[in-house]
Structure 1
Amino acid sequence: MYTNFNHVPYGYGYPYGANPYNPYSRYAYPQAYGTPANYYNYGVRQPVRGQATWTEGGEVTKCGIPWSNNRYMTAAVGQNSPYQCGQTIKVKNMANQRVVLVTVVDQVPNYPENKVNLHRKAFETLGASVDLGVINVEITPNPQLEEEKWGKYLLEIAQSAYPNYNATDYSKVSQTQQNGNVKEVYKFVMESPQEKMSIEGTVIYNPATDRIISINFKEVS
């Protein structure tokens, strides 16, 4: 048994009375990572090493966002963590380097700031067995994606358009002007258990009205 294990139960201090869901942590696990001094520098895409548990989700969330959002690629974080409701964060399994992009759907008091509670489907997407209960992860905030609302919008469409794949990374390719409209192009890396592929999403919109002119996706090498 590890003497330095200081896991805080997910339901402790839960603001809605009875906790509708609980994380699965069947085995004691070493607290391998502390909280870096620059952890709170939210404006920088600084990776933070911590741990992830998993949950089946529940009906009530503080963010008002269902666990089924983003095809269950969702997570809960500590109330005092720098991650905000609706924010996209990248979680990497340190054991196999697999990555998933998840949406923050809940914030819980008294939950460690460098831990995330992933929906079971997101946990399994990282290639982790639910029997492990807890895994070491690297968490990277994506403020760049939050500032690029069309990139996030295209990401949500891509997740739905490729139901057997999960987005694991993204990049903005270009932004140009076209006859008074704006064209933005993003590249997304999509992974399934069998393969990895890249797709390019393009949106053309009127910047004065924010109305979409067209959206297009294509597979790229």
Structure 2
Amino acid sequence: MNSFPYQPELPYERNTAFAYDERQPVHGQVTWTYGGPVTKCEMPWSENNYMTVAVARNSPYRCGQFIRLRNIQAPYGREVVVKVVDEVEDYPPNRLNIHRNAFEALGVNPNVGVLNVEIIPASDSQMEGWGARLLHVVETAYPGYRIAEYHLLTKTKISNTAMKESYSFKLQSSQGNLDIQGDIIYNPKANRLSSFQIKEI
């Protein structure tokens, strides 16, 4: 796996215990990589629209798990949801190696090399289930665009048999950038799609 070579001195000791609480975000760092053809999880780096990550061997995160990352440097508040597809050696648990596309989606130049983030476990991530299906619809509707960022806006119970979820997508291409909102209504009891729509905003 080809990682960005810049390795600054870490602001924490490698033997420091990692206080993991799935209810709370933790501070950590991300570096970036282009990934490789073989992964420990047997999942390609192209999973989840290249929003993917390699974690330390002693990390609490597992193959296939989703993790939300929030940029706590400028530009503040940019978020991505990444999927665990690989492991990386010699990293502490709160240092992650994400795909370059995900690094750029956090709003920073890859030349930065290392970025401080909040790490938020998302085992019930908004991009699992119906959100992931809507993401594929957006990808199909806008060929040539890359989904740089996406997140859940609202989740509303319409009735006992109808839930509505709304998502925001930021798309990038050489033609320019687009902001898309997607709405999906489904029956949670039958796990069946009722309707969906996407629109440029």
Task: Compute the TM-score of the two structures, normalised by the length of structure 2.
Answer: 0.76
Q: Report if the CA contact (8 A) 1:81-1:114 is conserved.
A: yes
For the pair 1:167 / 2:149, whether they are aligned, the reply is yes
- Aligned residue runs from structure 1 range 57-136, under 5 A: 57-96=35-74, 97=76, 98-136=78-116
For the pair 1:190 / 2:172, whether they are aligned, the reply is no
Using the TM superposition, give the Cα deviation of residue 144 of structure 1 relative to its aligned residue in structure 2, in angstroms.
3.1
CA RMSD of aligned residues (A): 3.2
- CA gap of 1:37–1:111, structure 2 versus 1, over 3 A, is closer
- CA gap of 1:138–1:212, structure 2 versus 1, over 3 A, is same
For the pair 1:139 / 2:139, whether they are aligned, the reply is no
- CA gap of 1:34–1:110, structure 2 versus 1, over 3 A, is closer
CA distance in 2, matches of 1:94, 1:196: 24
- CA gap of 1:48–1:63, structure 2 versus 1, over 3 A, is same
Percent of residue pairs bearing the same amino acid type: 38
- 1:131 aligns to what SS in structure 2? helix
- CA gap of 1:38–1:197, structure 2 versus 1, over 3 A, is farther
For the pair 1:40 / 2:20, whether they are aligned, the reply is yes
Q: State the match for 1:6 in structure 2.
A: none
Using the TM superposition, give the Cα deviation of residue 142 of structure 1 relative to its aligned residue in structure 2, in angstroms.
1.9
Residues matched between the structures, number: 193
Unmatched 5+ stretches in structure 2: none
Letter of the structure 1 residue corresponding to residue 168 of structure 2? V
Query: Radius of gyration: which is bigger?
Result: 1
CA distance in 2, matches of 1:147, 1:123: 18
For the pair 1:200 / 2:178, whether they are aligned, the reply is no
- 1:144 aligns to what SS in structure 2? coil
Q: Deviations over 1:134-157 (max 9, x none)?
A: 222221122332696223433454
For the pair 1:216 / 2:197, whether they are aligned, the reply is yes
Using the TM superposition, give the Cα deviation of residue 100 of structure 1 relative to its aligned residue in structure 2, in angstroms.
1.9
Q: Deviations over 1:32-76 (max 9, x none)?
A: 35799784222x1x2211111111111111222211112211111
- CA gap of 1:130–1:219, structure 2 versus 1, over 3 A, is closer
Task: Compute the TM-score of the two structures, normalised by the length of structure 1.
Answer: 0.70
- 1:56 aligns to what SS in structure 2? strand
Q: Report if the CA contact (8 A) 1:78-1:107 is conserved.
A: yes
Q: State the match for 1:5 in structure 2.
A: none
Q: Deviations over 1:90-123 (max 9, x none)?
A: 2222221222222221134543100110111111
| Greater mean alpha carbon deviation, residues 107-116 or residues 60-69 | 107-116
Q: Report if the CA contact (8 A) 1:75-1:102 is conserved.
A: yes
- 1:174 aligns to what SS in structure 2? strand
Q: State the match for 2:30 in structure 1.
A: 52
